[in-house]
Structure 1
C-alpha cells in the first residue's frame, strides 16, 4: 500500500510539473492559429517553429480543453459522493465537540472521529486507506471554535480558514428542524481565480442535490469574509415561500492554500497565502477581484 501511494504521488507530481511546458506550447499554437485565421504576419519569435506548430495544430481537437492538476484533484467530483472525516484538535472542549456534531449534520456522508493521541500523519494515512475524500480539522481558542482546515485527499489541496462569530444551533431563537437532504448551494461574489478555487474547495464537499430538496446553504463573500448560513424552506403558494434558519452560522476567512496534504507541513508548496501587513492589504479583495 505504501509503495502504491508513493508511486501514485510521483505520477501526480510528474503530471503537475509537465503543465507549464504544455501551457507554453498551447499558447504558441494559439498565436499561430490566430495569425492564420486573421491573415496576419506570424510573430517573429514563432516564425522558426511555425511549420511544426501548424502540423501539430492539424491534430488538435478544437473541443478539447487543457487539463491541469486542479482538474485532476477533483476529476470524480459529481460522479461519486464525497466521503468526509471530521475531527478536532487534541483535548477539545465541550463547545468544540458540540460544534463538530453540528458540522456533521451540515456535511452529508461525513463521519466524526475522536482525535485522541493520533498524529496528523496517522490521520491522513488512515483516511487514504479508507477512501476518504476530505479530512476536516476544527480548532479552538479558549473554548471558542476559531480555525478550520480542509484537506482534500489523496494529494491536496489543503485550505486554512479562520472562524469567527460562531453561533450554534441551540443559540438561534426559533431554530427550525434540520433536514438531512442533500443541500442546494449558493455562492455569492467569488469572481477572481482565487475565489473560484475556494468555491471549488467548498463546493466539492457536498454531493449533487436532488431538485426537490428544500435545504439551502449560502456562502456569501464580503470583503474576503465568507458568511455561512443554513436554511430550509417550504412553498406557501406559487409566489411565496416560508424560510427558516436552522444553523449553525459563522464567518470564514481564508489565510492559506497549500497544494499538498496536511502531513507534509511546510514541505508542501504554498499556492496562496494572505499578506495582511502589506501596504495595499486593506484595499485588495482577493476572492472577488480578478
Structure 2
C-alpha cells in the first residue's frame, strides 16, 4: 500500500487523502533540503570559501530537444546569408522602411483601433483601406509606391506580413490582444524612432523571422525618445511589448550615526528608472513562411506548421 500511487486508488476520499499526504511530505523534504543548502552556504562564507553551486531548476526551455539548426556565433554561412537576403538593404540602412498596413475584407470591430496603435508603434507606416481589392493587386500597388512591407491585420484570423518587392510572406496567428486604453497606467508614445529588442530567436528559422520583423523598423533609434519595442520569443510564441523609460528623481534622508546628538538630517537625491507600458501588447504564433509575395495556390513554403509537429512539448522551431 505504501508504494501505491493515488491514481490507482478507486475510492475518491482515500485517493484525496493519500495525495494530500504525499504533497505535504514533498513540501517538508523541499524545506529540509533548502535548510541544508543555506547552512552549507553560510559555513562556506564564514570559512571564506566559494559556496556550493545551486542546482539549476529543470524547465521546458533548458530541457528542449536538440536542434541542429540553432545558430552559432561562428556560423560563417549564416552571416554570409545575411548579406544576401531580402532584408539586408534595410538592415544596412541602404533603404528606409515604408510599411503599408491594411485589413482583410471582413475585418473585426477592434481592427481599426489596433491599426491606429500599430501606426504609432511603427515609424513610416501608412494605412490604406482594403475595400474589395484582391491582395495581389495591393502587393502590385505597394511595389509601385516603393513600400518595403505589407501588414494585413485581422484580429480574429491568420493574416500575413509580406516583405517587398519579392517576399517572403509570413503568416501569423494573432492572440491575446490588449489595446492601449485597456492597459492600466499606460503611457503615450512619442514620435521618436524606437529601440528594438529581440530575445531568443535562436534557430535558422527564428533568425529569419527576427530579420523580417526587424525590417519593419528603421535601424537608427532615437534614444532621446526613451521608447523600446520588444519581441520576446518563448516556446515559439512571440510576445510583443511597447514601453518607455521613466526617470524619476527621489529624495531620501541619510541615516545619522549614533551618539552624535540631534542634527539636521541630510538629504540625498536618487535617480530611479522604471518602465511604463505604452501598448498595445499581443502574441504572435508563426503558422507558415512562404517564398514570394502571397500566393494561396502555387505557393512554395520555406516552413509550415503541421499538427504532427506538436507531439513533444520540448520541441521548438524558433
Query: What TM-score do you get using the length of structure 2 for normalisation?
Result: 0.64
Indicate how the Cα distance of structure 1 residues 244 and 69 shifts in structure 2: closer, same or farther if over 3 A, else same. closer
Secondary structure, aligned partner of 1:250: strand
Q: 2:206 aligns with which of 195, 205, 213?
A: 195
Tell whether the 8 Å contact from 1:182 to 1:215 is kept in structure 2 after alignment: yes
Residues 1:265 and 2:289 are matched in the alignment? no
Aligned to 1:149: 160
Tell whether the 8 Å contact from 2:240 to 2:281 is kept in structure 1 after alignment: yes
Aligned to 2:230: 218
Provide the alpha-carbon RMSD of the alignment: 2.3
Residues 1:84 and 2:91 are matched in the alignment? no
* Distance in 2 separating the partners of 1:228 and 1:81: 23
* Distance in 1 separating the partners of 2:312 and 2:146: 39
Aligned to 1:34: none
Aligned to 2:284: 252
Deviations 1:228-287 (A, max 9, x none): 11001133368631311010000100010001111x333232001112224635331111
Deviations 1:190-238 (A, max 9, x none): 1111111111011111002134330001111111001111001133368
Tell whether the 8 Å contact from 1:82 to 1:109 is kept in structure 2 after alignment: yes
Q: 1:171 aligns with which of 173, 182, 193?
A: 182
* Distance in 2 separating the partners of 1:75 and 1:195: 16
Give the number of the structure whose alpha-carbon radius of gyration is greater: 2
Aligned to 2:261: none
Tell whether the 8 Å contact from 1:182 to 1:207 is kept in structure 2 after alignment: yes
* Distance in 1 separating the partners of 2:184 and 2:79: 50
Tell whether the 8 Å contact from 2:110 to 2:155 is kept in structure 1 after alignment: no
**How many residues get paired?**
220
Aligned to 1:231: 243
Return the structure number with greater relative CO, CA threshold 8 A, min gap 6.
2
Q: 1:136 aligns with which of 146, 151, 166?
A: 151
